[in-house]
Amino acid sequence: MNTSSLGMIISGSFTEGFHVRLVSHSAQTRIRTGKFVSIQGDKCRFFSLITDLKLTVSHPDILLFPPRPEERLLQKMLLMRDMSAIAMVRPLLILDDAGRISSIDRIPPHFAPVYSATNDDISIIFGSESTPGRRYFSLGSPLDMSAPLCIDLDKVTERSTGIFGKTGTGKTFITRLMLAGIIGKDAAVCLIFDMHNEYGVQARSEHHDQPFVKGLKTLFSHRIAIFSLDPHATQRRGISPDRRILLTYQSIRIEDILSLQEELNLHATACEAASLLAARYQRDWLATLLAQGAHLKELAQQVGAHPESIAALYRKLKIIEQLPFFQQSESETQSDIIDEMMDYIDRGISIIIEFGNFTSTFCYLLISNIITRHIHARYTLKTEQFLGSHQKRDEPKKLIIVIEEAHKFLRPAIARQTTFSIIAREMRKYYVSLLIVDQRPSCIDSEIISQIGTKIVAQLHDEQDVHAVISGSHNSQYLKTILSTLGSKQQALVIGHAITMPMVIETRSYDEIFYRDILSLISVTKNIPIQDLYTSSPSL
């Protein structure tokens, strides 16, 4: 057996996985759950994940009369014959001698040796960033390996993506890495609802030696526009926003309010009153309600609503008057902000929406709902025009909409109403998909979770959250075991459409080395001299 062999297959099945008897104590220390290994079969290799580890003895009496510490010879004898460490391994792919990759349709033979996978294996199976004609992007490397492990960005954009994990596990950092890859490799245009101002200019990091990391605008200044609800806050952080967001009361529809029901603690009767107002005053329903503060009874009579319900609705929505980015009438805003956004998107420029000091969930939900509803409507129209035209010109650009705290948009109770759930269900029929970031996936409508193509899952402790993210996967039990052993930072399980097989990764560090790598990648793929990229990012 080759020196790097970790052990040999002794038994197993497709359903429970295979048992590997580890050859030595050193193999035992080198192996951990989530490790990527290959099993050498006849004329093929089985690429597999270690899913569990256990200790066995050949006879139960050994456990009744264990060797005492000073009985060294006995210990040695037992180790040679009667005690062993077993790794459970799950084969997931076959690579045959001709270099063809296929799914598992046969089992490895008895005593087949098991090896650590090599860096070459990784690039053969998962692709490499330099593969011509493909947009592969490395999100990190397999456990205990230094090889870059790639996902296929074109596949990422074909379906929605979910990044899950409990707080502090690195979700925002993974999202930033993904977005840098998508934008850097031109895989799609992104519309990012940046609730905590973490994606644009710079963000805090918990690393003491690097307390701040660069935002995407700092990295790719020409490919990103910042639209700010709070331009002063954006300026205080060192950059002038490309646009200030101003919206009118008329842009707020009943659907936007209905999905805020829980946040506003709105009773169903208040929602009915809102619908009656909208039926009567159409787009001016909110402006009318807010203007009639002193005459709510009359207003209730006019629309046939209960006065108490109208009064409750008024009290809850009055806070909109204090939000400076809402204007009472359309004439006061110079140009339609949605038109401007579409203009940037059509030019392939991604948009970060900064909330500045307006970090309440109420603002985040309201603004994201309004903007997404409008953009989605434009995209639907654009796609229909494109599909109906003979020349097939002006194909819409793929758009990825990024939201944090996604469960607030996609709760089962409102999952039929929000534009976000429509997008998740349509599966990019209209060129739009979602990238959702969340720490409570169990609170997201299960049908929507099942539509997510690629999932990147960091540590999750809650049983229901674990169940929610892996329940749709084939043979999910082994993924559950792997998930339970993930470290608390910079480790994640990647499953689904955009990766050849489920893998555990050590997330790529988002640091100076990454900034350099991503810019040189763009320089090579787009044939732009690297100095030009550096000059467009003066702070590098």
The residues of the shown chain that bind Mg ion, judged by CB under 5 A, are 172
Annotate each residue in 431-450 with x if it binds ligand ATP (CB under 6 A) or - if it does not, as one string: --------x-----------
Name the residue with tokens 């100095």: 531
Closer of 91 and 165 to ligand ATP (Cβ): 165
| Whole-angstrom distance, CA of residue 381 vs CA of residue 395 | 12
464 burial type by CB count under 10 A (0-12 exposed, 13-18 middle, 19+ buried) = exposed
- Hey, what's the torsion of the CAs at 414, 420, 424, 428, to 10 degrees? 150
141 is a contact residue toward ligand ATP (CB under 6 A): no
Which position among 169, 197, 218, 459 is part of the footprint of ligand ATP (CB under 6 A)?
A: 169
| Whole-angstrom distance, CA of residue 437 vs CA of residue 172 | 8
Shortest CB 210 distance to ligand ATP, Å: 8
Q: Which does 269 bind (CB under 5 to 8 A by kind): Mg ion, ligand ATP, none?
A: none
The interface region with ligand ATP, picked from 160-168, 265-273, 352-360, 427-435 by CB under 6 A, is 160-168
**Of 280, 299, 303, whose CA–CA distance to 290 is shortest?**
299
H helix runs in 389-489, sequence order: 419-426, 446-451, 463-470, 476-484
Which position among 314, 420, 510, 515 is part of the footprint of ligand ATP (CB under 6 A)?
A: 510
DSSP annotation of 280 reads H
Distance of CA 421 to the CA centre of its chain: 16
Which position among 25, 110, 207, 232 is part of the footprint of ligand ATP (CB under 6 A)?
A: 207
Closer of 173 and 325 to ligand ATP (Cβ): 173
Shortest CB 268 distance to ligand ATP, Å: 32
Q: How far is the CA of 457 from the CAs of 143, 195, 424, 503, in angstroms? A: 15, 21, 18, 10
Annotate each residue in 171-190 with x if it binds ligand ATP (CB under 6 A) or - if it does not, as one string: xxx-----------------
Query: By three-state DSSP, how is residue 511 classified?
Result: coil
Closer of 451 and 507 to ligand ATP (Cβ): 507
Interface with ligand ATP: number of residues (CB under 6 A):
18
H helix runs in 105-230, sequence order: 119-126, 153-156, 171-184, 216-219
Query: By three-state DSSP, how is residue 453 classified?
Result: strand
Which position among 109, 168, 238, 324 is part of the footprint of ligand ATP (CB under 6 A)?
A: 168
Shortest CB 172 distance to Mg ion, Å: 3
| Whole-angstrom distance, CA of residue 346 vs CA of residue 149 | 31
What are the tokens at 412?
């089962």
DSSP annotation of 121 reads H
Q: Which does 355 bind (CB under 5 to 8 A by kind): ligand ATP, Mg ion, none?
A: none
Closer of 163 and 499 to ligand ATP (Cβ): 163
| Whole-angstrom distance, CA of residue 288 vs CA of residue 300 | 12
105 is a contact residue toward ligand ATP (CB under 6 A): no
Name the residue with tokens 């460490």: 85
Query: By three-state DSSP, how is residue 4 classified?
Result: coil
Closer of 228 and 507 to ligand ATP (Cβ): 507
The interface region with ligand ATP, picked from 69-77, 165-173, 292-300, 387-395 by CB under 6 A, is 165-173
Name the residue with tokens 């526009």: 225
Q: Which does 243 bind (CB under 5 to 8 A by kind): ligand ATP, Mg ion, none?
A: none
Shortest CB 411 distance to ligand ATP, Å: 18
The interface region with ligand ATP, picked from 199-207, 235-243, 265-273, 460-468 by CB under 6 A, is 199-207
Residue 375 region by backbone torsions, left for phi larger than 0, else alpha for psi between -120 and 50, else beta? alpha
Closer of 256 and 405 to Mg ion (Cβ): 405
**Of 520, 529, 508, 506, whose CA–CA distance to 219 is shortest?**
520
Q: Which does 173 bind (CB under 5 to 8 A by kind): Mg ion, ligand ATP, none?
A: ligand ATP
Residues 29-38: b if buried by 16+ CB within 10 A, e if exposed: eebebbbbbb
| Whole-angstrom distance, CA of residue 239 vs CA of residue 233 | 9
Closer of 350 and 490 to ligand ATP (Cβ): 490
What are the tokens at 253?
């529809």
Residue whose C-beta lies closest to ligand ATP: 170
517 is a contact residue toward ligand ATP (CB under 6 A): no
Annotate each residue in 480-499 with x if it binds ligand ATP (CB under 6 A) or - if it does not, as one string: ---------xx---------
The interface region with ligand ATP, picked from 3-11, 115-123, 167-175, 391-399 by CB under 6 A, is 167-175
| Whole-angstrom distance, CA of residue 250 vs CA of residue 359 | 23
Shortest CB 433 distance to Mg ion, Å: 20
Closer of 368 and 419 to ligand ATP (Cβ): 368
* Packing angle, helices 307-317 and 268-281, rounded to 10: 90
Closer of 253 and 489 to ligand ATP (Cβ): 489
170 is a contact residue toward ligand ATP (CB under 6 A): yes
Interface contacts to ligand ATP, rule CB under 6 A: 165, 167-173, 205-207, 439, 489-490, 507-510
